[in-house]
Amino acid sequence: MKEAWDKRYNSNEYIYGLKPNQFLSTNINTLKPGKILLPGDGEGRNSIYAAKLGWEVTAFDYSNSGKEKALKLAESYNLEINYEISDVNNFQTKKSFDVISIVFLHLTKETRIPFHKNLYKFLNPGGKVILECFSKSQIKNNSGGPKNLDLLYSIEDIKTDFSEYQIELLEETQVNLDEGPLHQGIANVIRLIARKI
């Protein structure tokens, strides 16, 4: 899988575009900049946006090609981001964060549940998780995302995974994606904002 993502990112084109995810940008625009963690941030579009707003950014992905493009993009804006190579099972840090944002990170149930539970320890009290993922209804669309139901989520999955948090928003909705060539068109997504109590 790592090799597939390295191959996918190994081009000059930013395949999910340069604009940040709309749900993430709308929500962090309203927050005072602090420390943010972006798991699976690929080519870095969301990291760069957060850094432009003054956030101290830590991101990770297991794709070397993704990291190279993210750092190249950061340099073009004269920004600094901390970008690590790691998969979700092995990521560790001594930092704590004010926001953790997970955008279209496709994980099997066996990986997803412990990863989501593990995030709790990385958040400051009052810190927020901002998450957007494809719902199982996305399987019928051609606007992006996996063609494997095991990598798509239900609203019950997300509600259970973040049961320790105060849920501020949890919804399944349709959006019109415009995120580079691979995320285009009507998509079924789940959106979460959850606060660590």
CATH code (residue 85): 3.40.50.150
The phi, psi pair for 153, rounded to 5°, reads -115, 155
Weakest-pLDDT range from 3-7, 69-73, 157-161, 189-193 = 3-7
Arithmetic mean of pLDDT over the chain: 95
**Residue among 123, 120, 116 at smallest CA distance from 35:** 123
> Residue 13 — very low, low, confident or very high, per pLDDT cuts 50/70/90?
confident
In tens, the pLDDT along 111-134 reads 999 999 999 999 999 999 999 999
With a cut of 90, say whether residue 9 has pLDDT above it.
Answer: no
Range of the domain at 165: 2-195
Q: Residues 165, 129: contact at Cβ < 8 Å? A: yes
Q: Residues 121, 78: contact at Cβ < 8 Å? A: no
Pairing of strands 166-179, 183-195: antiparallel
pLDDT for 3 equals: 72
In tens, the pLDDT along 34-73 reads 999 999 999 999 999 999 999 999 999 999 999 999 999 9
Weakest-pLDDT range from 13-22, 77-86, 164-173 = 13-22
The residue behind tokens 């956030």 is 55
pLDDT for 187 equals: 98
> Residue 171 — very low, low, confident or very high, per pLDDT cuts 50/70/90?
very high
Q: Residues 150, 108: contact at Cβ < 8 Å? A: yes
pTM: 0.95
Interval 184-189 mean pLDDT: 98
Q: Which phi-psi region, left, alpha or beta, contains residue 68 (left: φ > 0; alpha: ψ -120 to 50)?
A: alpha
Count of structural domains, the chain: 1
pLDDT for 79 equals: 98
Cα(62)–Cα(19) distance, integer angstroms: 21
> Residue 15 — very low, low, confident or very high, per pLDDT cuts 50/70/90?
confident
Token pair, residue 96, equals: 């704590």
Q: Residues 155, 192: contact at Cβ < 8 Å? A: no
Q: Residues 196, 128: contact at Cβ < 8 Å? A: yes
Q: How far is CA 139 from the centre of its chain?
A: 19
Sheet arrangement for strand 82-85: 82-85, 56-61, 35-39, 97-103, 123-134, 183-195, 166-179
The residue behind tokens 């955008």 is 103
Interval 161-168 mean pLDDT: 98
